[in-house]
Structure 1
């Protein structure tokens, strides 16, 4: 079938990773796949093109009204069987453009769950609540990525339960293991200490990610180091905060990494201390590699991490609880290893990219009858 994915941008993020994993595999299965990006070219786009996926860029700003017009023209020319939208703006504009272009089958992929209340202006959010459950086309399905997102979609967004499907983000385990080196060799790539316990984190340096909580917890631990990968608005502020807390020598800011696998190979424990998190792909990838994962008890992280089975969950914002859990895992290596082994089994059973691909194919064929 002819599939067009529409996404706001192809920068860093779980939605972008899913599209980058999904589109080439759909092409391998015989689908004719195009990815439409509202913004400008990025490295992720170039990776898709290298994999043989056509990428079309609108190169327009977030508030540019030409986005809907250009999308409608593109879809009218392409006549896809399925329009698959990702992220807030694309889900809105892509659906409108699909209806205007006469496309009958639309998949709205919700990567953000209740984050809409933080990023959507109140009048627009109210209008969305009122209209969304009744908007065309009739052949629309909503994909949510966690049980908490499913509950939110039913209870708050009032979406028809028959059109809601839970499909978690997928993890490419073969890719994560490819070229794997020892923890010692991976640490050497970043100049990290070889013998010290090492906690890892990868993600945006933004307030909702809770990096300040990780630094505060680290200040309560003796001899433990942290490796933090990512860029964002708080990058400089978090480095200054590490100095203020006296943990700068034990905190290694690695900046943005195109490939986070060496970081995960290097670590003893992975931490996702987010204040809000729709899914937590990096946490799932860490778990797939056998790391014990410590995460906030919120959103999709409660699906990825089973408390005291595959990792540990802590109350969001509770630094003392986070520090206590980390201290216990660092001191009890065998227990941490057991959690990591169970975590890998959990991810392999429920979160593989191939299982996600199968499920999405089922959704496509189901809409088309």
Structure 2
């Protein structure tokens, strides 16, 4: 069985971290997985260990902690892994270099969060882009979570033959709606069982546009708004809700380890993000039977013709459009829809099997020597990328 070490920046609650957990769960019996986390082991590390997956904490103290590189290389060499698979910017940079030092032949990376002008919610400065593309050449292939991300990688100069598209996946059964779950979660959150609740799930960063959602919601005379997630904009969004006069009708629930619970408690999922690499929360909302309002969702854009479900409504960015969309929903009775065909299109089991097959195919590919020269990355250039917070 192929032995794989996944390297990820942190294991707090986040889209990439949860996707890694779900993929590993569904690769059980196909691949022997272990995980190395550079920093912040967090709740996903606990879930992985409960599933029997070894998690190694590298103990990286910050973006400038170059001492983590030899520690990571020693871990890889000692483990005798067939494949190293990196996730998120810092882990991709350090992980590819460490894997090459350790002599691993197959090095795969997944690009989870590359947008226009930002990566993982932060600006893609010239230094960030240079460091990314330089270390990308040390790997075997890069997995894009959507054709949209693949196109962005090509725009960064990554050759098309080094990019493989394997979309994010979802376990639809985990998101199935149950009335008793709805009642239980509303009681736990202190939500009126009869209130109409708009919900939003995601990291509280500018690109998610939760500020726009709050401003649009402020024009409604009824309903509640539940925002689930955490991030650097949390305090600013609290202040916006207060100044907009909707603090009493807006609940910030923080991070949640159980998104299916949250989706069972709301009546409409709002996803006003202007940029997405996939749009997993939209697909999760559809799996929960919710009407969904969204601005950007490559997962829906990339579907075969005719597969975009009626309950997914595209809303152009802007206050007028979002105010009108929320108002229309509020005037309608809450409705739960059967999960559409689009949800099955992104079955996590299929994508986990595809990833396992990718590992196997690259593992047995004849060696052709070094694929690229080591990139000359000066310390000053690394520090410039570090200042972007990656």
Is contact 1:277–1:301 with CA below 8 Å preserved after alignment?
A: no
Q: What corresponds to 2:356 in structure 1?
A: 361
Deviation per residue, 1:299-334 (Å, 9 max, x gap): 556448976734112223x12101212222332448
Cα pair 2:295 2:314 within 8 Å, conserved: yes
**Correspondences of 1:1-369 after superposition (within 5 Å):** 1-26=2-27, 28-61=28-61, 62-114=63-115, 115-116=118-119, 118-126=122-130, 128-129=132-133, 131=134, 135-137=137-139, 140-154=140-154, 156-177=155-176, 181=180, 183-297=182-296, 299-300=298-299, 302-303=301-302, 309-316=310-317, 318-333=318-333, 337=336, 340-341=337-338, 344-348=340-344, 350-369=345-364
Separation (CA, whole Å) in 1 of partners of 2:264 and 2:152: 35
Q: Which structure has greater helix proportion?
A: 1
Higher relative contact order (CA 8 A, sep 6+): 2
Question: Runs ≥4 in structure 1, deviation > 6 angstroms?
Answer: 304-308
Residues 322-360 of structure 1: CA deviation (Å, up to 9, x unaligned): 1212222332448x65xx43x533112x11210110110
Greater Cα offset, 218-227 or 6-15:
218-227
Partners of 1:113 and 1:144 within 8 A in 2: no
Q: Which runs of 5+ in 1 are unaligned?
A: none
Q: Is contact 1:149–1:300 with CA below 8 Å preserved after alignment?
A: no
User: Structure 1 stretch 118-127 or stretch 39-48: which is displaced more?
Assistant: 118-127
Give the SS at the match of 1:217: helix
Contact kept in structure 2, 1:288 and 1:345, CA below 8 Å? no
Q: Do the aligned partners of residues 235 and 7 (structure 1) sit closer, same or farther apart at CA in structure 2, a change above 3 Å counting?
A: same
Q: Say if 1:315 and 1:298 are closer, same or farther in 2 by CA, change over 3 A.
A: farther
User: Distance in 2 between the 1:298 and 1:283 partners?
Assistant: 7
Moved more, 293-302 or 105-114: 293-302
Using the alignment, how far apart are the partners of 2:328 and 2:29 within structure 1?
46
Q: Secondary structure at the match of 1:93?
A: helix
Paired residue secondary structure (1:181): helix
In the superposition, the TM-score normalised over structure 2's length comes to 0.84
SS at match of 1:113: coil
Distance in 2 of aligned mates of 1:184 and 1:50? 28
Offset of 1:249 from its aligned partner?
2.1
Structure 1 vs Structure 2 CA RMSD: 2.4
Partners of 2:297 and 2:20 in 1: CA distance? 24
- How many residue pairs get matched? 357
How high is the TM-score relative to the length of structure 1?
0.89
Question: Cα–Cα, structure 1 residues 124 and 181, in superposed 2: closer, same or farther, change >3 Å?
Answer: same
Say if 2:300 and 2:308, in contact at 8 Å, map to a contact too: no
Q: CA deviation at 1:23?
A: 2.0
Quick one: structure 1 residues 232 and 265, their matched pair in 2 at CA, closer, same or farther if it must change by over 3 Å?
same
Three-state SS of the structure 2 residue aligned to 1:271 is strand
The answer to whether the 8 Å contact 1:276/1:299 transfers is no
SS at structure 1 position matched to 2:275: coil
Describe the SS at the equivalent of 2:36: strand
What SS does the aligned partner of 1:366 have? helix
Q: CA deviation at 1:298?
A: 5.6
Deviations 1:81-136 (A, max 9, x none): 1111000011111111111111111111000123339444423423544x456x23
